[in-house]
Amino acid sequence: MKIILASASPRRRELLTQIGLEFEIITADVEEHSDSREPAQVVMDLSALKAEAVLAQMAQQGLLQTEDVLVLGADTIVSCDGRILGKPKDEQEAISMLERLQDRGHQVYTGMTLLYRRAGESQPVKKQFFEETEVFFYPMNRTEIEDYVASKDPMDKAGSYGIQGFCARYIKGIQGDYNNVVGLPVGRLYQEMKGLLGDEEGSNI
Question: Do residues 44 and 113 lie in contact, with contact meaning Cβ atoms separated by under 8 Å?
Answer: yes
DSSP 176: S
75 in catalytic set: yes
Euclidean distance between CA atoms 184 and 149, whole angstroms: 23
Per annotation, catalytic residue among 75, 147, 156, 199: 75
Euclidean distance between CA atoms 112 and 2, whole angstroms: 18
Question: Do residues 26 and 53 lie in contact, with contact meaning Cβ atoms separated by under 8 Å?
Answer: no
Nearest CA to 47 out of 158, 152, 127, 141 is that of 127
17 to 47, 81, 106, 146: CA distances (angstroms): 20, 34, 28, 33
Any idea which residues carry the catalytic annotation? 75
